[in-house]
Amino acid sequence: MEKVNLYTGIVKNEIFKSFYEQNGVSLFNHASNSPSIEDFLSIAYVLCPDIIVVEDYIFLGDLFEERGEDAIEEIRRLEKQFNYCKRDIERYVNSRSLGDFFFGKDTPSMNNDILLKQFGDVLIYNWTRRLKEILPSRNIRIEVNQEIMGELGLSITMYEE
């Protein structure tokens, strides 16, 4: 007699029932019927983003745009603004409203807390794995909560503890 084990993914299949618009009969099918290859690659990038380390600070590459000497100057400015609190600097730079990931997509799904929370959980899972892979000795926390650092609604940030 063989034993069968199903190892579920981080997105629960049942959430498909909460989709405002269903493009298929399952999550997998919906994904196959919805985006273009460009969409898929963009989504993969968000799940495994560029990370930049400036001195001892860790940032999402797309949220800290300065490079080279400009990056060092920006760090000095942020240190003054946040009274040299590394945690606050990282939380501020790395914070983003979950709704901003879907700018211009005003659908009823944007008001579905279950879907937004699941999206936040997906980002936490993937960003945590990414950071452990490239910076294994650092204790970096990914947080999803309401109105982090002035963002609107459910938001995400990351910082080193």
Report the distance separating Cα 36 and Cα 56, nearest Å: 38
Q: Within a domain: residue 19?
A: no
Looking at every residue in the chain, the average pLDDT score rounds to: 89
Closest CA to 91 of 123, 64, 122, 130: 64
DSSP 16: G
| pLDDT bracket for residue 159 (50, 70, 90) | very high
Task: Report the predicted TM-score, pTM, of the whole model to 2 decimal places.
Answer: 0.86
Tokens of 71: 């990056």
Poorest-pLDDT segment among 47-51, 78-82, 105-109, 121-125? 105-109
In the predicted structure, residue 25 carries a pLDDT above the cut 90: no
Q: Within a domain: residue 23?
A: no
In the predicted structure, residue 26 carries a pLDDT above the cut 80: no
Expressed as residue numbers, the domain containing 155 is: 49-160
DSSP 106: -
Q: Within a domain: residue 91?
A: yes
Report the distance separating Cα 94 and Cα 122, nearest Å: 17
Q: Within a domain: residue 27?
A: no
Amino acid occupying residue 157: T
Query: pLDDT at position 1, please?
Result: 59
Q: Within a domain: residue 68?
A: yes
In the predicted structure, residue 142 carries a pLDDT above the cut 90: yes
Report the distance separating Cα 46 and Cα 125, nearest Å: 12
The domain total for the chain is 1
The beta strand positions in the chain, using DSSP E, are: 51-54, 57-60, 96-97, 140-146, 154-160
Q: Within a domain: residue 70?
A: yes
Q: Within a domain: residue 31?
A: no
Cβ proximity of 155 and 147 under 8 Å: yes
Count the residues in the chain. 161
Q: Within a domain: residue 37?
A: no
